[in-house]
Amino acid sequence: MEKILKTKRKIRFQDCDPFNHLNNSKYLDYFINAREDQIAESYGLDVFKFLKTSGISWVVLSNQISYLKPAFTMETVVIESQLIQYTDKILLVELKMWNEDETELKALLWTKFIHFNIQTQKIANHSADLMELFESVVMPLQESTFDERSLAIMKKTRSLA
């Protein structure tokens, strides 16, 4: 099973600022939409069907983002995502936005999701099936904080240039 998932997206005019840069808040939309599509296609996990059948889904607990290079109107970008940590209640996902040929990193995002029961309005434990899926796809990192990871990636991408 693939651990690093990738999707191409085109940056749309309505999502950009007067400088033709992707608006800062829109990065989150592109990242979350890509991740939802990726896990449905790669893992057969449609979060909306899952919510309808179980009454449980994930909500964003926190985001940490670094904007490294602008994404421009009508540019094709590659959005990459991977699960980097999980517990019985929480997922930590790393997402990257690259230019089309993946030589220029535009943004780095860590999103923490919490498993939540919509009916009881309480945090829920992941099922054994989900825990098995997470174990098969998790890619732990050497860096333990977002700032450490961001610096390591910036150093690595500078050395590639």
**C-alpha dihedral sign at 106, 110, 116, 121:** negative
User: Which tokens in the block code for residue 4?
Assistant: 């690093």
Mean pLDDT of 105-120: 97
Number of domains into which the chain is organized:
1
Give residue-wise pLDDT tens across range 39-88. Answer: 999 999 999 999 999 999 999 999 999 999 999 999 999 999 999 999 99
pLDDT score of 160 more than 70? no
Task: State if pTM tops 0.85.
Answer: yes
Residue 85 structural domain = 5-160
Q: What is the CATH classification number for the domain harbouring 59? A: 3.10.129.10
Residue 6: band (very low, low, confident or very high) from pLDDT cuts 50, 70, 90? very high
Give residue-wise pLDDT tens across range 42-55. Answer: 999 999 999 999 99
Of 72, 73, 64, the residue nearest 96 (C-alpha): 64
* CA 10 to chain CA mean position, Å: 17
* pLDDT at 86 (0 to 100): 98
pLDDT score of 159 more than 70? no
